[in-house]
DNA sequence: ACGCAAACTTGCGTGCACGCAGTTTCCTTG
DNA sequence: CAAGGAAACTGCGTGCACGCAAGTTTGCGT
């Protein structure tokens, strides 16, 4: 039996590789077509054809048309965030490890991805699909946080990971929406311009900051 | 001008009342038909017909077939939770106010609703729709929390509310899934039986507990 | 009291998600 | 190495979400 050191390294297997190749082909086809013709002029049938599979197969891989386009940008961000957290030395505060890992993985999105982001912002359906990908970081984050907290804090880890995902989503929402803040606060009355239009890293840090006390408390409970 | 005491009391307006009546009719029709024939034997067309509107109108009110059925159970839970929080005296810890309000509103679901919950648990599509309703509590919660924290903690309130929603969702997920815990922890190794099968209130409190330090810190920052 | 503008409803058409069953491809066990 | 079995791809059919462009109702201003 192979070494079970890392989580995601079973024997590659020819079958699985073809599967990932197909997935990647769909990603690329979806993004390329969306850029070429505009997002609304791309049907699932077109993407499938460009990737060389049947339309039916397409949504064995993606649940919606938008997911394929967006996944070309998000790729395997979840795994990278989890790895980035695990890579931090065990001495640093868990809060800082998570925050820095998130900021790091959301800012270096690459030059090409930034081009695609402009495309995404133009269509609300794509924006929503993009925002939904923040939920994907939850399981890997749960795993690495649980590792630091020990088995006693298993479901604490789950809650913290979900909270991080929620905070990231909020940061992204605000970032993607320079104008038009609809129905958020109840009756805050006067000022609504809490953050004029900060950069993405700033927004991420600001959104994660309120969770720091919860992380600290959870972390200290494991080392009295 | 009318009294602007509570958040949701603009002038009723005859137009709005008919709208709510239609919504309620759809809710009831959806639930009744789902109970009578089983959830899978109910088409949108049937619900619309039973409520006396066209199928097209149906999804001006509900985005999916499942939402109509589920909303008969969830009703206006969001508003009730927010009201329950606001009703607590200003002296108690914000954490406790929120936790108790959530527990209160999720446990007294009523006798009839419990019958419907059994129906919901039988179909994963309905379960998912039910879990998605937890996101609805986020905006009202943001409002009441922001009210306590003052305008300085506006986006802190947003993050906390989202975290609460996430925690509630986790609690409900675990509660609705007595068996079969799929792909949550990374490699926690031995014990996975963190909570054998606690009651819903217990699960809610357990899920919200890790957030308490964050609430306390935010609250204290407003009163030095 | 009357008409106007906005909002709600409706029919129609298109594209899509997904279950089902048959076929092909790959991995594993004897 | 061969056969069994599982997983993935595919065609087909059904129901649904949603944009668009009328038609209809409600409520308000003059």
Say if A1 falls within a structural domain. Answer: no
Residues B219, B165 share a domain: yes
A216 in contact with B, Cβ within 8 Å: yes
Say if B59 falls within a structural domain. Answer: yes
* Across all strands, nucleotide nearest B66 (CA–C1'): D16
Residues A169, A111 share a domain: yes
Q: Which residues of B touch A135 (CB under 8 A)?
A: none
Residues A213, A126 share a domain: yes
- Using alpha carbons, select from B207, B213, B214 the residue that is nearest to residue B171: B207
Say if A122 falls within a structural domain. Answer: yes
User: Which residues of chain B have a pLDDT value below 70?
Assistant: 1-14, 110-112, 178-198, 223-224
Residues A155, A64 share a domain: no
B154 in contact with A, Cβ within 8 Å: yes
Pick out residues whose CB falls under 7 Å from strand D: A 15, 18-19, 22, 52-57, 60-61; B 13-15, 18, 42-45, 56, 58-59, 63-65
Give me the domain span that covers residue A63.
14-70
Residues B151, B42 share a domain: no
Å from the B79 CA to the C8 C1': 25
**pLDDT for the residue A189:** 38
- Using alpha carbons, select from A223, A141, A158 the residue that is nearest to residue B210: A158
**pLDDT for the residue B189:** 38
Report DSSP letters for chain B, one per residue.
-----STT-S---HHHHHHHHHHHHHHHHHHHHHHHH-GGG--HHHHHHHHTS-HHHHHHH-SSHHHHHHHHHHTTHHHHHHHHHHHS-TTS-HHHHHHHHHHHHHH---HHHHHHHHHHHH-HHHHHHHHHGGGGGHHHHHHHHHHHH-GGGHHHHHHHHHHHHHHHHHHHHHHH-SS---S-SSS--S---SSSS--HHHHHHHHHGGGHHHHHHHHHTT--
Q: Which of B73, B94, B110 is the last residue of a domain?
A: B73
pLDDT in tens, chain A (224 residues): 333 333 444 456 767 888 999 999 999 999 999 999 999 999 999 999 999 999 999 999 999 999 999 998 888 888 899 999 999 998 899 999 999 999 999 987 766 677 788 899 899 999 999 999 999 999 999 999 999 998 888 999 999 999 999 999 999 999 887 654 443 333 343 334 444 556 899 999 999 999 999 999 999 988 65
The Cα of B141 is separated from the nearest Cα of chain A by a number of Å equal to 9
CATH code, domain with B131: 1.10.357.10
Q: Are B215 and B98 in contact (CB under 8 A)?
A: yes
Residues B109, B69 share a domain: no
Residues A123, A171 share a domain: yes
Å from the B13 CA to the C2 C1': 22
* Across all strands, nucleotide nearest B62 (CA–C1'): D17
Structural domain count of chain A: 2
Closest CB to A214 among B146, B207, B214: B214
Say if A9 falls within a structural domain. Answer: no
A93 in contact with B, Cβ within 8 Å: no
The Cα of A11 is separated from the nearest Cα of chain B by a number of Å equal to 18
Search chain A and give the residue with CA nearest B219.
A210
**pLDDT for the residue A143:** 94
Say if A38 falls within a structural domain. Answer: yes
A50 touches strand C (CB under 7 A): no
Residues B144, B99 share a domain: yes
Q: Which of B73, B91, B120 is the last residue of a domain?
A: B73
B190 in contact with A, Cβ within 8 Å: yes
Q: Which of B49, B73, B97 is the last residue of a domain?
A: B73
Say if A112 falls within a structural domain. Answer: yes
Residues B127, B62 share a domain: no
**pLDDT for the residue B111:** 65
- Contact call for A142 and B184, based on CB within 8 A: yes
Say if A187 falls within a structural domain. Answer: no
Say if B3 falls within a structural domain. Answer: no
Residues B147, B64 share a domain: no
Residues B82, B156 share a domain: yes
Residues B114, B38 share a domain: no
**pLDDT for the residue B178:** 64
CATH code, domain with B69: 1.10.10.60
Å from the A56 CA to the D13 C1': 13
Nucleotides of C under 7 A from a protein CB: 7-13, 15-20, 26-28
């Amino acid at each position: 039996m192979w070494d079970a050191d890392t989580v995601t390294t079973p024997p590659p297997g020819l079958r699985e590789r073809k599967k990932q190749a197909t997935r990647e082909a769909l990603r690329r086809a979806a993004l390329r077509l969306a850029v070429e013709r505009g997002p609304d002029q791309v049907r699932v049938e077109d993407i499938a054809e460009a990737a060389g599979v049947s339309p039916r197969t397409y949504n064995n891989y993606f649940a919606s048309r938008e997911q394929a386009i967006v996944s070309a940008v998000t790729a395997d961000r979840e795994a990278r965030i989890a790895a980035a957290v695990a890579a931090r030395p065990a001495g640093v505060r868990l809060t800082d490890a998570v925050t820095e890992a998130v900021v790091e993985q959301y800012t270096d999105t690459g030059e090409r991805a930034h081009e695609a982001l402009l495309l995404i912002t133009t269509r609300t359906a794509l924006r929503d699909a993009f925002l939904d990908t923040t939920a994907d970081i939850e399981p890997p984050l749960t795993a690495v946080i649980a590792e630091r907290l020990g088995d006693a804090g298993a479901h604490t880890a789950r809650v913290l990971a979900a909270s991080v995902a929620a905070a990231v989503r909020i940061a992204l929402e605000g970032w993607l929406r320079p104008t038009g803040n609809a129905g958020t606060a109840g009756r805050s009355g006067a000022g609504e311009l809490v953050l004029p239009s900060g950069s993405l890293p700033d927004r991420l840090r600001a959104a994660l900051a309120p969770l720091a006390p919860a992380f600290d408390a959870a972390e200290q409970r494991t080392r009295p």
